[in-house]
Amino acid sequence: MNDTSLAGRPIYSHLGADPDLGDLVVEFVEELPTRVAALEAEARGGNWPQVARIAHQLKGAVGSYGFDALTPYARDLEVAVKDGQEAASVLRMVGELIEACRRVQPGVPNAQAQERSNPS
C-alpha cells in the first residue's frame, strides 16, 4: 500500500480534540510502540499467525481511536498473511504499517504548521 498523501507526515486522530476521548487517544499513542515492537518481533521470527493477530487487533484499535488512515495498512497485512502471500511481500507490508504507526501523534495538528504546508 503506497498512500503518497500520508508519506512522511504526522498522523493525527480525528478524536484528538474530543474533550471526552482525547486522553484515551493519548494513552493509545503512548502504548502503540509496544504493539509495534511486538509486531516487528513476530515478523522477524516468521510467526505469521501472530503477525495476523496483531494486525487484526491494530485494525480495530486504530479505527476505534480515530486513526482511520492506518486501518487499510493493518487490514491489508492481515489479509496478506491469511492468504499466504510470500514472506517478502508480508514483510514489506509490516514495514509500511510500522512506519505509519511511528508517525502517529496525540492531540491535533498545529494550525500554523498546517497553514504553512497547505497555503491557500
Q: What is the CATH number of the domain that holds 31?
A: 1.20.120.160
pLDDT of residue 50: 98
- Is 76 inside any structural domain? yes
- Is 39 inside any structural domain? yes
Grid cell in block for residue 75: 487490514
pLDDT of residue 6: 58
Residue type, 94: V
Grid cell in block for residue 34: 509496544
CA separation, residue 55 to residues 16, 31, 89, 100 (Å): 22, 15, 15, 13
Rounded to 5°, the CA angle 19-23-28 comes to: 135
Count: domains in the chain: 1
pLDDT tens, per residue, the chain with 120 residues: 545 455 689 999 999 899 999 999 999 999 999 999 999 999 999 999 999 999 999 999 999 999 999 999 999 999 999 999 999 999 999 999 999 999 999 988 875 344 444 454
pLDDT of residue 68: 96
